[in-house]
Amino acid sequence: MKKKFIVSLAILGVVVVVIIGAVIIFTSPQDLGVRYTKADLNSVNNKLSISYGSLAASSDPASSIRISGKKTLDQAFTQSELTALLNQPSGQWKNYPLSDIQMRINADGTIEMSGKILVNRFEAYSKATNIPYKYTSLVEDKINLVPVNPSFYYKGNYEVKNGRLEGEMTQIKVGPLEVPKNWTDNNKDFITGFVDDRLNSAGMKVESATFSSGKLDIKGTIPEKIEFEQ
């Protein structure tokens, strides 16, 4: 009896280790080797010169962010500055759906990004930033069934010319699982449409953008002020 109990404990231990290992694999973002410092964050904020503020608590996701004003942007940003900028809202806005983000810009102009998706914030984020229903409908009934915050990775070769997004996403992963290439190929226009929507939302309009050797050159318009509910 004692031997069976010990065997059962051993099996349970193995199961727990396997489950923990699976969770770690599924939730650990791919390391792209990009780091940022406080100096990078200060630099990107000085270049953007956007004023940030706080909003009172509200139960309405649409009221958790307020964007005002408009000004021109003509700047170059390093991949470390962009990584700092993409992580900054994690401490500013309660509905920001990403964390632990890295962005790498390769010598050939391709871009890579990795991080974690905070699934419990997706619905509120999509309402607050007006993501079109044709995009949210793909995941809104499924994302809350995900028991962990999965990692993500994507690679693409985008640029913007005269306000028009060109290029394609060449690789997508959720956790360790890669989305089949035939799916990305068959849905190229749909994916490009979503990226274009995000580039021209929240008070931002991109007129031109080129990526090369760790740097983004971008022209367009951005908000003067953004307020968040923390």
- Comparing CA positions, the residue from 41, 47, 43 lying closest to residue 74 is 47
Residues 6+ apart with CB under 8 A from 35: 80, 83
- Comparing CA positions, the residue from 29, 21, 22 lying closest to residue 116 is 29
pLDDT of 41 higher than 50? yes
Torsion of CA 90, 101, 144, 23, to 10 degrees: -120
Q: Is 214 exposed, middle or buried (0-12, 13-18, 19+ CB in 10 A)?
A: middle
- Residue found by looking up tokens 């997706």 in the block: 122
Candidate from 40-54, 130-144, 178-192 with smallest mean pLDDT: 130-144
Which conformational region is residue 202 in: left (phi greater than 0), alpha (psi within -120 to 50 degrees), or beta?
left
Instruction: Reduce the DSSP state of residue 83 to 3 states and report it.
Output: helix
- Residue found by looking up tokens 């607050």 in the block: 128
SS3 of the chain: helix, strand, coil, percent, to 5: 40, 30, 30
Strands (E), the chain: 51-54, 65-68, 71-78, 98-105, 111-117, 151-156, 159-161, 164-166, 169-174, 177-178, 205-212, 215-222, 225-228
Task: Dump pLDDT digits (tens) for 115-155.
Answer: 999 988 888 988 898 888 877 777 666 666 666 788 999 99
**Percentage with pLDDT > 90 across the chain:** 50
The residues spanned by each domain of the chain are: 29-228
Q: What is the pTM of this model?
A: 0.83
Taking the C-alpha atoms of residue 124 and residue 126, their distance in angstroms, rounded to an integer, is 6
Task: Between 21 and 51, name the one with better pLDDT.
Answer: 51
Taking the C-alpha atoms of residue 208 and residue 228, their distance in angstroms, rounded to an integer, is 27
Q: At 77, which amino acid appears?
A: F
